[in-house]
Chain A
Amino acid sequence: MKNIVLIIFISVFAFSATAKVVTVGSKAQFNSIDKAIEQASRYDTILVQPGLYKNQKIIIDKPLSLIGEKMPVLDGGNKYQIITVNSDSVLIKGFKLQNSSFAILEDPAAIKIINGNKIIIESNYLLNNFFGIYLQKCKNTLVKNNRIIAKGQKEQESGNGIHCWKSDSLQIIGNKVERNRDGIYFEFVTNSVIWRNISEYNLRYGLHFMFSNNDAYFTNIFRNNGAGVSVMFTKKVVMMNNTFSDNWGDAAYGLLLKEISDCHLEGNTMYNNTAAVFMDGSNRMEVKRNIFKNNGWGLKMQANCMDNYISSNNFLGNTFDISTNGSLTLNSFSENYWDKYEGYDLNKDKIGDVPYHPLSIFAVIVEGNPPAMLLYRSFMITLLDKSEKILPSITPDNFVDNKPLMNAIPL
């Protein structure tokens, strides 16, 4: 018994003895962060006092906590990558990081982490950097409550806000990313979650997702991005409660799904996009309880999509609810609400008695012959649409919702 108490006492003493706190500042123990890191031992905490630290090129190669008091400014002077982490168990919190260098080959970032495990990057403000936070081969890493604003110049001259490559078990939470090339970028990232972020005014995608299986993103807002959000070449992604809005332009999509399978799209809101969801080669998707509102196209589903199940969605005020590029339909629609539905409900079960064909003839014409969009709102097209609704002849007749709802689902 005595021995156990002794062991506990010694271990606590040993821990507190090794983890000491070091301060950096003009009148503190150290006046440069580099020196403090050099002198510090493993698991120490480095407190950085407020002030402007110019020309920073910090390399963290041991487990440390780097904490800023009242947002000290670390400036890369457009010459250096500001913080490079080559170690496990590092915390970086409470800094303003600005003006990293720019280079096409090295991709310098404000914070770059290589081969890290158990890293936390929290509450930093990143301004005018090339890449913001760059995670390369990381595990169990948390990126939380950071604000990242880039210059938003040309696509070639900008980096990504949060760039994750070949990583596992990441958590990207509560960040706000603006004016980068891609807001959040995922490539070969698995078992990760993206939650409550806001990504807007990015030049290309709000979220760019490739070869990243078994991930989920919830409750994010993606708006006013150059081309919306794209999820490509991926399996088993869960997309829920996100908002995709105002991605308006020639080649902009709310959500672009390309070559993905077994994904789940539920409870999202999409409004004011040129095309809310564009599905190309997407299989076995479940699209449920989403709101498609005031988009040019609600759901653009190419004929190479298979076994998708679209149910309980609200389609409101879109120019075209659905469009497709072929006559083959291997997907099913059920119990959606379409505001253009004109049927009736005799037995009052809130399901329309007449099946609804969501594909309008003009949507088919435009898909086969894009210049025909010039005839939008012309009297002849209105007539054609009406007559096709009554007697379908050109639109594929298996593109049908057999149980259209009479009222919008309260979502």
Chain B
Amino acid sequence: MGRIFKYVMLDIFKNKIVIFYTILLAMLSWSAFSLEDNESKGLLTLLNIILLTVPLVSILFTTIYIYNSSEFVELLVSLPIKRKVIWNSLFIGLGLSLSLSFILGAGIPLLIYAEFNNALLFIAAGILTTLIFVALAFLSSILSKDKAKGIGVSIILWLYFALLFDGLILFLLYQLSEYPIEKMMVVITSLSPIDLARILILLNLDVSAMLGYTGAIFKDFFGTTQGLIISFGLLLLWIVIPYLISLRKFKKKDL
């Protein structure tokens, strides 16, 4: 496993797109903090950018990478190596390198400019989002042999989480506005990693006072250690479940 993992890592680090992604994140973060006059605003701007770019780059890059390395995977499969090991090392290699670019690009300015707790929360959320979308990419690329189709599914997944899910929440809010839906909203937002990360950060900023009653309920839940553990557990499930499904499919797949 170690050797395959090493090859994957080396291959990715030589890839110009990952280097470009790191530089892009760094530029965005530094400029967000130096353009805004206070930390809280800088953090919000960064939040906006990161919750959009990190999932997009993670899911697209991973999908394309898996399709491009299909010949390499086929070669490995012909050797006496378990399929599980191949798939695992691919996942760890991709997830680790993209997380590393996130830490290098966005983590350093965050640690310098933002309050330490907020920075840590942000970095944790960023890494989890990266891993979640890598896992989703594994799933979408195993679903079809056609590269165009796989990339299409990836883009649709990204669109769904970045845009459509919020639309769905808004729709629900309007439909059920007569009912006390605040507690239900806690459950529903945990179904989208992007929303969960955004709300976790919002609650820790001054802006939380503007969230009113709903914000108070969210704070009651996420403000406690138990709530934080549950929500991070949910985010972990978002990584584990798509990945395990893709692993099962990969094991049975006729390459």
Contacts and interface: CB of A to CB of B under 8 A. Distances in A.
Interface of A: 248-250, 252, 274, 296-297, 319, 365, 368-383
Nearest to B52: A379
Contact of B214 (A319, A365, A371, A379): A371
B173 to A, nearest CB: 5
B216 A374 contact: no
B210 A376 contact: yes
B210 A379 contact: no
A370 B167 CA distance: 16
Interface string B37-79: 0000000100110011000000000000000000000000000
Nearest to A296: B210
A374 B199 contact: yes
A375 B170 contact: yes
B213 A370 contact: yes
A319 B199 contact: no
Contact of B182 (A249, A252, A365, A371): A371
B181 interface: yes
Q: Range of interface residues on chain B?
A: 20 to 34
Given A274-B210, A371-B181, A376-B211, A381 B48 contact: no
Contact of A371 (B44, B185, B206): B185
Contact of B206 (A248, A368, A369): A248
Given A250-B212, A374-B169, A377-B47, A319 B207 contact: yes
A373 to B, nearest CB: 5
Given A369-B173, A370-B213, A375 B181 contact: no
A371 B210 contact: no
Interface string B196-208: 0011001000110
A373 B198 CA distance: 12
A375 B171 CA distance: 12
B209 interface: yes
A274 B167 CA distance: 26
A144 to B, nearest CB: 36
A372 B170 contact: yes
5 cross-chain pairs, A with B, having the tightest CB-CB distances, nearest first? A380-B166, A371-B214, A296-B210, A378-B166, A373-B211
Given A380-B167, A381-B166, A369 B174 contact: yes
Contacts of A382: 48
B66 to A, nearest CB: 26
A396 B80 CA distance: 69
Contact of B207 (A249, A376, A379): A376
Given A365-B170, A380-B166, 19 more contacts: A250-B216, A252-B209, A296-B210, A371-B181, A371-B214, A372-B170, A373-B211, A374-B189, A374-B211, A374-B214, A374-B218, A375-B169, A377-B202, A378-B198, A379-B48, A379-B51, A380-B163, A380-B170, A381-B166
B171 to A, nearest CB: 11
Contact of B209 (A274, A365, A370): A274
A255 to B, nearest CB: 17
Interface string B155-169: 000000011001101
A351 B149 CA distance: 52
A370 B214 contact: yes
Contacts of B207: 296, 319, 376
Given A379-B52, A379-B166, A374 B209 contact: no
Nearest to B167: A380
Contact of A383 (B163, B182, B198, B202): B163
B224 interface: no
Contacts of A250: 209, 212-213, 215-216
Contacts of A375: 166, 169-170
